Structure 1
Amino acid sequence: MPKVLDKHMPQFNDIVIFLKTLCYSRMTEMLLQSLAEPSVQFEELPEQVEVRVGEKAKLQCSFTSSLPVASCWIHNKQKVVNDSRIQVESSNQSTTLLIAEAHPNDAGSYTVVVRDRRGSAQHSIVLSVIDRPQPPASCPVISQLSSTSLVLSWSGPCYDGGSVVTGYVVEVKRVGPGKAEDWSELTGRCRSTSYRVRSGLEPQGEYHFRVRAYNTVGVSEPSQESDTIRMDTAGGEVEEPQSYVDITINTTNKVTDHYNVLEKLGVGKFGQVFRLTHKETGRVCAGKFYKARGSRDKAAARKEIELMNHLHHPKLVQCLGAYDSRSEIVMVMEYIAGGELFERIVDDNFEHTEPTSVRYMQQILEGIQYMHQQSIVHLDLKPENIVCVNSTGTLIKIIDFGLASSLDPNTPLKVMHGTPEFVAPEVIGFEPVGLATDMWSIGVICYILLSGESPFQGNSDDETLALVTAAKWERRLSCEKALAHPWMAAFVSADPRTTKSLSKEKMKKFLAKQKWKKTGKALLALKRMAHLSSKSDGSESPTSPGEDQTLTPETEHALKSLEEQLQSEPRFSQALKDITQPQGTTVRLICHIQGYPDPEVLWLHGEEPVEESSSRQIDYQDDGNCTLVLSDVQESDSGVYTCKATNSLGEALCSCKLKVGP
């Protein structure tokens, strides 16, 4: 908006005289009026309005102006128009938006824009339309602990009704011949998604369980019923025997020919994971949908699938099938219901002791020992990749073999990937990796498991990597020697219930920091909210990845608008730095690139493109970190290195000088 003249400025009188000489009265009056009176201004500015589903929503703003005022409301980037349910009433002093019988999809930000002849103003109000939650997303999963008690675990609702879920109601029903009973309440004040039933269950009795969620509005419909559970007097955890099959990639069918694709379970650099159910058997599985945008991505996906045929062990998640089509590759996996190990440990209903920690470490070592016997290294061992078989016991499995690789004694393997806190020093130095590389990561996991603290975590990735490379150690045990270590043997037969519990507070802080570091991108978050909104208004369930999803015009417009706002030409937020290094060392040239769409990256040495080889490796992460690693550098490697980033909006260049001395 143009800057308004200040009548106290020294030249003000000169301007008035000048205007009088040109057109005198009308122009001068208009100028004086604009200087004396401010533009339209708001008086009452509500920030948020909350109503329950079905109630009337009233959004109102008052404003002042000495001139006629026009106003409108905008929701989801579109002007609000009157219809049978929504009415806008405006005057020269206020505007009101009335929504009769508010729906969940009425929620969101409403912007009122007002204008007079001298200027405009706008203000946004957030409307929250709250409802009782949807039912819990899964039926209760049951772990039998004794003849009269058990633990129930379940997943929270897909949509909380717009108001946070504050608790759960757990219900039970006796079943069996001559025992049919109505549902009765076990508890109405469960605060987590797990509950231990300590009384009211009879030995050999048969029961069904279900759960309801509630918030400030009310109680949800019940979840699906659990399978029939018969109380058993047998104690201890028994690992189910498994049968293994070698997988051949199916290039004839699509995964949707055999499986129903349900809710999304997670997102990673590789792509997305969805829950699946087999159309004939009803078996619940997990589907790993790879991005597979090019031949390189497809080759990496096929490599992981083929590697899974060598990993038939009860402590390693199993591949059950694979599909390869033109647009995507899907690997069907075992569905592991217990969640990440560390997340389970910090649950208030779970006891964390030194013997249980030994049990976890024993299983991790057993799984990795089998991999190492096949000359396969995992190379991405971290807490997120250790998951629980169920929500109550101590059985675990190792997952995510996307970075795993077979070792060839005749060809040293060097890698440039991993999580800074868990990566071994040889990875940072771009030196050959081996079986001991996994053992380093296992040691870090064990340290966090017992202390709750990460031994090498710094305030930044660079500081973390520096702490790792500065570490001193005596040796690294093999899996066999680690399993036979006296510390492990001392707790093999110990009873966790007779051992003092370990503190969980530090581990909770560790997990909170990890979650903060993994915060998703705005566009993905908005798409997730759009998906939840479509579910809450009764529209169809999501289609499988790769297929078009039906969204309302408003949602499509909002997504398109956000996409446009995110777009920017490439720029370097961290520039390359000149470096001098002696011959024979490893050099890492690091920069950070921002831009959307994601820029394509090209490295140049002088005027020539840098081609990847055993001594030249390029790594470009999704977060924008871009690294060129030069190993065993010589004087001929000296010169100017340039990183060129290009997208549809432009390009950016960043250079540095490398000097290699004798």
Structure 2
Amino acid sequence: MKKLRHPHVVRLYEVIDDRLKDKIYMIMEYLGGGEVKWRDGDHEPVLTVNQTRRIVRDAVLGLEYLHQQGIIHRDIKPANLLWTEDRGQVKIGDFGVSHFSYAQRLAAAGKEAADAQRDAMLIDDSDLSKRAGTPSFLAPEVIWEFHALSQSPVSSHYELPSVKSSGTVQSSFYSKPRPPITKSIDIWALGVTLYCLLFGKVPFTTTGVGSEFELYRVILYSDWGVPPHMGVNKVPTGGRQPNPSVPGGAAIQLLDRFLQKDQNDRITLDEIKVRPHAVLSNPRKMNLTF
């Protein structure tokens, strides 16, 4: 963290090891705006769509920098996005479960051949094989083993599609070997975060109290629903199937790319920064596709 220098990543200035008191002190940048608040007591959104765009824009730029440094954050969520005191910027914080990969750092630096870079991204470090982060934000490849823990894959209230659609998978998908855990898990978590900011709820939930095991199986097998409106300003969404003619259709289309269970189909940070037919050359003026 001390080596990180980016306007959208929380700065760590110094670490003091006080052996007399047996404590370690971390002197960090003060973010007076606090964490991003995304819902009220009734689980309704409190942000406008434009505010959500600004937050996600900053998070994309911060996450892009982290990945270039070889760092997988592993716990992207609204509570780890912090406002500056003037609410002008959002910064990524809390690196308690983050992971550094030298292989990823080399690939990001362009020191590998094009087809070798893909192999370098397949992080197989032992730490990444352990679950870390917040359950509702974990990508399918992180909780892959929960598919194999039951002979009956889903209960009646889960969706198990027979054909692949935008947010679901074929039943044969989980019969394949477990996919590698890469920086794409941060992309998934950012997609879940975007959903939270827009709708005031997480996209994957269990009926009733449920357990983490049931939640993981919902993430693995179920599609996500779309309320008729998003944001505190009630922008029409047009439903689950992206409809560009509806004001919020582009946001649903973006979510659809974020929340692909197959990481090979998931959007990349470079793709997020591209509007249809035009590449935004100035990332500070980046305007997401909604």
Aligned counterparts of 1:354 and 1:397: Cα–Cα separation in 2: 19
User: What is residue 321 of structure 1 aligned with on the other side?
Assistant: 14
| Deviation (angstroms), 1:346 | 5.0
| Other-structure match for 1:466 | 217
The aligned residue for residue 363 of structure 1 is 58
Residue 337 to residue 426, structure 1, CA distance change in 2 (3 Å)? same
In 1, the alpha carbon distance for the partners of 2:3 and 2:138 equals 24
CA deviation after TM superposition for structure 1 residue 352, in Å: 2.8
Do residues 380 (structure 1) and 75 (structure 2) align? yes
Normalized per residue, which structure has more helix?
Answer: 2
Alignment partners' CA distance in 2, 1:325 and 1:401: 21
> Displacement of 1:488 after TM fit?
11
> Which residue of the partner structure matches residue 433 of structure 1?
181
Q: Deviations over 1:429-466 (max 9, x none)?
A: 26542110100000000011112221112233222111
Residue 337 (structure 1) aligns with = 32
Question: What is the DSSP-based 3-state SS (H/G/I as helix, E as strand, rest coil) of the residue aligned with 2:37?
Answer: helix
Counterpart amino acid of residue 315 in structure 1: H
1:471, 1:479 → 2: CA distance? Answer: 24
Indicate whether 1:405 and 2:99 are aligned: yes
Q: 1:485 Cα deviation (Å)?
A: 4.0
Maintained 8 Å contact 1:338/1:388: yes
Deviation at 1:358, TM superposition (A): 0.9
Report the 3-state secondary structure (helix = DSSP H, G, I; strand = E; otherwise coil) of the residue aligned with 2:25: strand
Aligned residue identity for 2:50:
P
RMSD of aligned alpha carbons? 2.9
Report if the CA contact (8 A) 2:2-2:14 is conserved.
no
Relative distance call for 1:493 and 1:362 in structure 2 (3 A) is closer
Contact 1:322 1:331 in 2 (8 A): yes
SS of aligned partner of 2:28: strand
Q: How far apart are residue 310 of structure 1 and its match?
A: 3.4
Question: Displacement of 1:388 after TM fit?
Answer: 0.9
Structure 1 residues 109-258: aligned runs within 5 Å: none
Q: Is the 8 A contact 1:407 1:434 kept in 2?
A: no
C-alpha distance in 2 between matches for 1:443 and 1:394: 22
3-state SS, counterpart of residue 447 of structure 1 = helix
1:421 is matched with 136
| One-letter code aligned to 1:477 | I
Structure 1 length-normalised TM: 0.26
Count of residues paired in the alignment = 181
2:2 maps to which of 297, 306, 309: 309
- Using the TM superposition, give the Cα deviation of residue 316 of structure 1 relative to its aligned residue in structure 2, in angstroms: 0.5
- Between 1 and 2, higher relative CO (CA 8 Å, sep ≥ 6) is seen in 2
| Identity within the alignment, % | 31
- State the distance in 2 between where 1:399 and 1:493 align: 21
Residue number in structure 2 paired with 1:137: none
In structure 2, how many angstroms separate the alpha carbons of the residues matched to 1:418 and 1:427? Answer: 10
TM-score by length of 2: 0.56
Conserved? CA contact 1:320–1:333, under 8 Å: yes
Contact kept in structure 2, 1:359 and 1:394, CA below 8 Å: no
Q: Secondary structure at the match of 2:141?
A: helix
Q: Which moved more, 1:392-401 or 1:407-416?
A: 407-416
Encode CA deviations 1:525-574: one digit per residue, 9 max, x unaligned. Answer: xxxxxxxxxxxxxxxxxxxxxxxxxxxxxxxxxxxxxxxxxxxxxxxxxx
Change (3 A) 1:433 1:408: farther
For residues 509-538 of structure 1, what are the alpha-carbon distances to aligned partners after superposition, in whole Å with 9 as ceiling and x for unaligned?
xxxxxxxxxxxxxxxxxxxxxxxxxxxxxx
Deviation (angstroms), 1:332: 0.9
- Which residue of 451, 456, 474 corresponds with 2:204? 456
Letter in 2 for 1:310: K
Any stretches of 5+ residues in structure 2 without a counterpart?
Answer: 104-119, 146-177, 224-259
1:379-404: per-residue Cα shift (whole Å, max 9, x none)? 011111011112x5342111101111
Q: How far off is 1:408 after superposition?
A: 4.2
Residues 471-550 of structure 1: pairs in structure 2 closer than 5 A:
471=222, 473=260, 475-486=265-276
Q: Distance in 2 between matches of 1:373 and 1:471?
A: 32
